[in-house]
Amino acid sequence: MIDQEKALEIRKRLDELTDQINQRIISYENKFQLIGFGLQCMIKTSDFLKIGYIRQKGQWKLVIKEVDSELIWPLIESPRAYRLHALNHMSELEDALILTAEKAIKKMEKYLYNGADKDDHLDGSEDGQAEH
């Protein structure tokens, strides 16, 4: 039988910790928004998950998706385990965003100064969404 009082204590602690996790996610989103590259980036962080920073419904967001799925969750709305996983890979995403921006600069310079292939995408991908 479930001890209601103990269950309520556990739920309260889960909620407190989830709030702290969410605050870290919001801090990263704010950081990326301040940088303001305006470039999308996704990285594979395990055999089954990718994390990224993309424009979704008109807003730039941290997201997570399962490799074999088309569903992309805003990170803040994903399952707790996914949020924790993503937070462990934020420095990798930061590095990938910098690399994506550097590639975009090279492509822009190539286009402006040398002429470029019409199929060049600024983020270095074939479809306009970089993956690293």
pLDDT tens per residue, range 13-71: 999 999 999 999 999 999 999 998 999 999 999 999 999 999 988 999 999 999 999 99
User: What are the angstrom distances between the C-alpha of 44 and each of 25, 85, 86, 97?
Assistant: 18, 12, 10, 13
> Rounded to an integer, what distance in angstroms lies between the CA atom of residue 96 and that of residue 52?
9
pLDDT above 80 for 122: no
Q: How many domains does the chain have?
A: 1
pLDDT at 123 over 90: no
Among 16, 40, 17, residue whose Cα is nearest residue 87:
17
The tokens describing 55, both together, are: 């424009």
Q: Which residues form the domain of 91?
A: 4-131
Exposed e or buried b per residue across 40-62, where buried means at least 16 C-beta atoms within 10 angstroms of its C-beta: bbbbebeeebbbbbbeeeeebbb
In this prediction, residue 114 carries a pLDDT of: 85
pTM of the model: 0.81
- Decide if 100 contacts 132 (C-beta within 8 A): yes
pLDDT at 30: 95
